[in-house]
Chains A and B, each alone.
Chain A
Amino acid sequence: MSLLEIKNLHVEVEDKKILNGLTLTIEKGQVAAIMGPNGSGKSTLSYVLAGKDAYNITEGDILLDGESILELAPDERAAKGIFLAFQYPVEVPGVATMTFLRTALNAQRKLRGEPEFSTPDFIKMVRETSAKLGVSQEHLRRAVNVGFSGGEKKRNEILQMAILQPRLAILDETDSGLDIDALKTVSEGVNRLRSPERSMIVITHYQRLLNYIVPDVVHVMSKGRVVKSGGKELALELEAKGYAQYADEAA
């Protein structure tokens, strides 16, 4: 069974149609890139998968392990293993990153009926994980994303992903706002988390990121649906020819 099946998904925001019959399947362990021009609905797709309010699903379904998740709250989806690395990570003033991580992980474990982590075990696990990602102890004490540089914010998203160990990670324009060094560090973090047990949807505008995170498949989105799918070479072709050629196909 495929991990994720999106079937003929139609989504509106404030009466404006954003997704227009999108169909997409993600296999277990697969890394799929989703590319497309601005306004093609990429970010909407990521929010709808994570369960954000304010999106009105008028038609279609999203199946995880063959079961619909449309009725599930964001936290229930998280507990089932869906993780969204935000394009613009949100600041949470006064809440230490360490506290945030522990609250999130224990909340998920509670929902899954698993025992909570003991504090010493948790701290040990976070220290090991953050060391691997090159995240400092000082970073863990700072309030979530407050005063972080663009690179630090993105690295913080990857740290959360490493701690929460999702089965489906959606990376929404993780490359935006990163210089080349930060891009490399973040990509290394992502690659370290690749596993046959974990699927990823890598949403990006540019082919550049895919030099570092090499996808198994590439899907092209335009006007709210997938208009072309192919191997990683499709990304190079897009880089050369641009998105204009797909504008008509989606219409």
Chain B
Amino acid sequence: MPAVQETVDRVRQIDVDQYKYGFVTDVESEKAPIGLSEDTVRYISAKKNEPAWMLEWRLEAFRRWLTMREPTWARVDYPKIDYQNAYYYSAPKKKPQLSSLDEVDPQILETYKKLGIPLREQEMLAGVVRKDADGNVLPERRVAVDAVFDSVSVATTFKEELKRAGVIFMPMSEAIQQHPELVRKYLGSVVPTTDNFFATLNSAVFSDGSFVYVPPGVRCPMELSTYFRINEANTGQFERTLIVADKGAYVSYLEGCTAPMRDENQLHAAVVELVTHDDAEIKYSTVQNWYPGDADGKGGIFNFVTKRGDCRGKNSKISWTQVETGSAITWKYPSCILRGDGSRGEFYSIAISNGRQQVDSGTKMIHLGKNTTSRIISKGISAGQSNNTYRGLVTAHRKATGARNFTNCDSLLIGDQCGAHTVPYIEAKNSSAVFEHEASTSKISEDMLFYCRSRGMSAEEATALVVNGFVKDVLQQLPMEFAVEAQKLISISLEGSVG
């Protein structure tokens, strides 16, 4: 079948150089000396003018890290990382205390503008009419943004308005200064400094990230978001995010990320901790679009991230939604500890791999409390020569009577050079637990593509339509505007994956 062969050939010569955010911003930066030692940790802590307890916390983590070994159980293959040949701190050279946006380097403002993230509040309000996929006009919606550039936060918007509502939204480095009691209480309480190799490394050298505290009974008046940008060459980004929703509080948080195209690999090892008290809810959405490397697998971000939520209070809820399209290596398992009775965890994921990307991602739902429920919907899409693994753990503790989980893992293959793998672990130590697991693997069939193309769609349009149909359950979980963005991103990620 010559024509089919042609399709296969084109998939083989796949061109993944579609990355739109690969530019470099030329700013002067201030870096820690190359390499990693106690001195590096002290340097970072001193740069941030941190209190002694924070430095101690970091040093303890660092000493612990020296005794740990890099995990090798994930289905990813990458050259050994030389931790001494990287920078652990890089900040654009400017005044450390930014009182207003006028003091932010215009180059950096321009960078965020180019990325579609305006940092001036008036620009955000400037009456742009937004429309959803069906062309309906969306209600005006504001999003407060914390912009993290390499190792530091360069701007946080709508701080004042949020403050009036009682919501604290600020860079982690500021929170350590201004709200030490909250930071000390919660930092490391979900992901302890001893948790795993990458989380421990992060605990030692994290430089910035976002801190959110929503007081009891407050529904956060707008979406909060952090936009991470790695700019400097040879620099790792280690951000730390902590979100606490006190009793009855609600917050929806979005995270976005991009990086320039570079030939060498860059390390991103973040830690995100979420805490919900009684009846509180956190909705955490990510669109991960780090540079995936070129068609031959050269360059790209190594993304080793620990994300965990603790449903500490009764009837609290944590929901993770992620759209993963970037990174050369993804190692990431946003999880929920369902401690409070009646608490609920959700995980909705779309993971797309193309070119030579490797994804090993999934979730852990740990049922500790009574009548806790969880739901996992994972959609993996592999194209090119990529590998995509779902790895998940659902476990019910002895005391977790009435625990329920529903898991659905679907994989879609485009072409015949890619792989999809599903590794679910299920453990029930309680006889009343009810766990359901559904899984499927399918291929975009020639018949389906031909059906769409015979109606006038190009190969790309047809693939995008089929893939969007495949991921619909998850897209519906994203905030509306984000869903539209994600949909576009999916088409871009798969460009060139069909003939």
Q: Which residues of A pack against B, CB within 8 Å?
A: 14, 50-56, 73-75, 77-79, 83-84, 86, 89-95, 99-100, 103-105, 107-108, 111, 118-120, 143, 160, 164
Contact = CB atoms under 8 A, between A and B. Distances in A.
B469 A92 contact: yes
Contacts of B3: 53-55
Given A53-B446, A54-B1, A56-B2, A103 B453 contact: no
B89 to A, nearest CB: 45
B7 A93 contact: no
23 contacts: A14-B1, A50-B454, A52-B450, A55-B3, A56-B2, A73-B459, A74-B453, A75-B455, A75-B457, A78-B454, A78-B455, A78-B456, A83-B454, A92-B451, A92-B452, A94-B471, A95-B468, A95-B472, A103-B465, A104-B452, A107-B456, A107-B461, A119-B134
Contacts of B448: 90-92
Contact of A51 (B4, B133, B454): B454
A93 B451 contact: no
B162 interface: no
Contacts of A89: 451
Given A54-B3, A92-B466, A95-B469, A107 B450 contact: no
B41 to A, nearest CB: 48
Among A84, A90, A160, chain B packs the most CB atoms within 10 A around the CB of: A90
Nearest to B450: A52
B465 A100 contact: yes
B interface majority secondary structure: helix
B469 A94 contact: yes
Contact of A160 (B446, B455, B471): B455
A14 to B, nearest CB: 7
Given A74-B454, A92-B466, A164-B456, 14 more contacts: A54-B446, A56-B2, A73-B459, A75-B455, A75-B456, A75-B458, A91-B448, A93-B470, A104-B456, A105-B456, A107-B455, A107-B456, A111-B456, A120-B135
Contact of B465 (A50, A90, A92): A92
Nearest to A79: B456
Given A92-B466, A94-B469, A84 B454 contact: yes
Interface string B454-495: 111111010001101111110000000000000000000000
B483 to A, nearest CB: 14
A95 B455 contact: no
A95 B446 CA distance: 17
B453 to A, nearest CB: 4
Nearest to A104: B455
A70 to B, nearest CB: 12
B445 to A, nearest CB: 8
Contacts of A99: 133-134, 465
Nearest to B1: A54
Contacts of A111: 456
Contacts of A108: 455-456
B447 interface: yes
B461 A103 contact: yes
B259 to A, nearest CB: 31
B274 to A, nearest CB: 29
Contacts of A100: 452, 455, 465
Contacts of A104: 452, 455-457
Nearest to B7: A53
Contacts of B2: 56
A95 B466 contact: yes
Given A108-B456, A119-B135, A94 B451 contact: no
A148 to B, nearest CB: 14
A145 to B, nearest CB: 9
Contacts of A120: 135
Contacts of B466: 92, 95
Interface string B119-150: 00000000000000111100000000000000
Contacts of A84: 454
A93 B450 contact: no
A160 B457 CA distance: 13
A104 B462 CA distance: 9
A226 B197 CA distance: 73
A75 B1 CA distance: 20
